[in-house]
Structure formats: C-alpha cells, structure tokens
C-alpha cells in the first residue's frame, strides 16, 4: 500500500511530536514558510483560507524553513510571535525543517516524490511551495511559491465538497 500524509509525524512549533494522522479526513495545504521572504505576505492569504474553510474540515500546515536565502533565521518563539503579531496565524505551525538535501524531513521527501515541480524536478525551489492533500492523505497538487493562496480556494472547495457529498451518501446509523 502506498504511503499518505498520515504515515508521517512532525515536531510542532511547541516541541511536541504530532502524528499527521491527526489531520485524517481533512483537506490539508502543506506549505514551507518563512518570515523574511518576498512571499511572506502570503501568510495573510493562508490564514484567510484557514478562517474560511477550517470549520469545514480544512487546515493549513506551516513548516518554517531557513534553506532559501536564510529567510527564516528565528527560533520557534520568534517564529510564533512573528506569525501571531503580524498575520494572526491560527493554523498549525511546526518546528523549522529542511525541505531539500540530506537532512530533508521525511514528509517533504514524500511530498516531493508524489508531485514533482516544474519540468519534473522534485526539489523545492523556494519558500511558500504548497502541496494540496486530499482527506485520504494523497497529494493532489503542487503549487509554485508565486501561486497566491486565494488561487487555491476553488480546489480546496472541490475537495471539501467531494468529502461532504461522500459523507452525505453514507446511511444514517440505526437508532
């Protein structure tokens, strides 16, 4: 059986290990983020998606990364403070990771192998690369850093609708 998002775990920004199976049944948008990047204002759009769809079974999962131009130099407390104060981030943030190279987090090795980037390259090119994951944990699509979060809303809605309609088809439990 092939792997899914739910076969991995990651350290949360508070230092606790979080099995990603916690998000089973949800649509997820996994993003490598940074505080000092030209794309950093996308935090606003990511948070807007979280607010719009969070109560419908969606979550952004933010993974700080310092591999691109040293644009995420802060420690966990600085990252949390920055995201909270500047963008009111409520979606889950994880501990800083590598997304490329020999120390790349296993989750990112999986994501990259499932959906290659431009011209079939697997490497993450920059901060704010986004992976849309279905409720079953399968990687649906990879988005470039310059794809604005609001441009992904339609795809999120489709996955949420498919999830909802499938749930609606299940017979009601006997009473």
**H-assigned helices in the chain:** 42-53, 76-87, 106-114, 153-169
CATH topology of domain 5-162: Glutaredoxin (3.40.30)
Q: Strand, coil or helix: what is 21?
A: helix
For residues 1-12, give the mean pLDDT.
Answer: 91
Q: Mean per-residue pLDDT for 133-149?
A: 95
Share of the chain above pLDDT 90, in %: 83
Query: What residues contact residue 126 under an 8 Å CB cut-off, 6+ apart?
Result: 37, 39, 68, 145
- How many alpha carbons lie under 13 Å from residue 45 in its C-beta half-sphere? 18
* Amino acid 166: pLDDT: 45
pLDDT band (50, 70, 90) for residue 111 = very high
pLDDT, residue 162, reads: 86
Q: Which residues pair with 31 in a beta bridge?
A: 62, 130
**Domain boundaries defined on the chain:** 5-162
What confidence tens digit (pLDDT) does each residue in 21-71 have?
A: 999 999 999 999 999 998 899 999 999 999 999 999 999 999 999 999 999
Structure tokens at 89: 């981030």
Active-site positions?
37
Mean pLDDT of 99-122: 88
- Average pLDDT over the chain, rounded to whole? 90
Q: Please, which pLDDT band fits residue 169 given cuts at 50, 70 and 90?
A: very low
């Amino acid at each position: 059986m092939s792997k899914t998002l739910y076969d991995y775990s990651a350290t949360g920004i508070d230092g606790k290990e979080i099995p990603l199976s916690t998000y089973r049944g949800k649509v997820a948008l996994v993003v490598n983020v940074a505080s000092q990047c030209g794309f950093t204002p996308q935090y606003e759009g990511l948070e807007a998606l979280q607010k719009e769809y969070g109560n419908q079974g969606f979550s952004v999962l933010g993974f700080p990364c310092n591999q691109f131009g040293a644009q995420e130099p802060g420690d966990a407390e600085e990252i949390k403070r920055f995201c909270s104060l500047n963008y009111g981030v409520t979606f889950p943030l994880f501990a800083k990771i590598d997304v490329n190279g020999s120390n790349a987090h296993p989750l990112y090795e999986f994501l990259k192998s499932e959906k290659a980037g431009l011209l079939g390259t697997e490497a993450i090119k920059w901060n704010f690369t986004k992976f849309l994951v279905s409720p079953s944990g399968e990687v649906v699509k990879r988005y470039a850093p310059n794809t604005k979060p609001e441009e992904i809303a339609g795809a999120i809605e489709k996955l949420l609708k498919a999830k909802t309609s499938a749930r609606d088809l299940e017979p009601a439990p006997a009473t």
